[in-house]
A = this chain, B = another copy of it.
């Protein structure tokens, strides 16, 4: 999750909503991404979607059945839907997102085989998000 937080920090410094994600396969990071919706002018450029695409590209395979995602914020419905299709084995998120997180909508959005864990480094991830929105308001 520390590596995902580093990605969130990169997003913060680029004036993007600070969310970062990494995907791990066999104890190796195979994808790192941060939110790039502003840079790419594309609402689909969330850290998770970019990480899924990068991981599939690295593996040369569509399915991420042996992979774990670490992301600093609870995935939205779009990202949860993408994670469903990827059949990823584990999703770890730091901060919760009671407004747009997938758990609020329907925690069944993920694949039934996907294990979910939350809270690790949640305070740090949330504090970075709060700092970002504070900066935005100024």
List the interface of chain A (C-beta within 8 A of B).
Answer: 37-38, 41-44, 49, 52-53, 56-57, 60-63, 76-82, 84-86, 105-106, 108-109
Task: Give every chain B residue within 8 A of A108 (Cβ-Cβ).
Answer: 105
This protein's copies in its complex:
2
Chain A at the B interface: SS class: helix
Could you tell me the distance between the alpha carbons of A18 and B56 in the complex, rounded to whole angstroms?
A: 22
- In the complex, A105→B52 CA distance in Å? 22
Q: How far is the CA of A10 from the CA of B13 in the complex (A)?
A: 42
Q: In the bound complex, what is the Cα–Cα distance between A62 and B11 (angstroms)?
A: 17
7 A-B pairs besides A105-B105, A105-B106 with CB distance below 8 A are A41-B62, A42-B57, A43-B52, A43-B62, A44-B53, A77-B81, A77-B109
- Whether the Cβ atoms of B53 and A85 lie closer than 8 Å is no
A-B contact pairs, 22 of them (CB 8 A): A38-B62, A41-B56, A41-B57, A41-B61, A41-B62, A42-B52, A42-B62, A43-B56, A43-B82, A43-B86, A44-B44, A44-B53, A76-B81, A77-B77, A77-B80, A77-B81, A77-B84, A78-B80, A78-B81, A80-B81, A105-B108, A106-B106
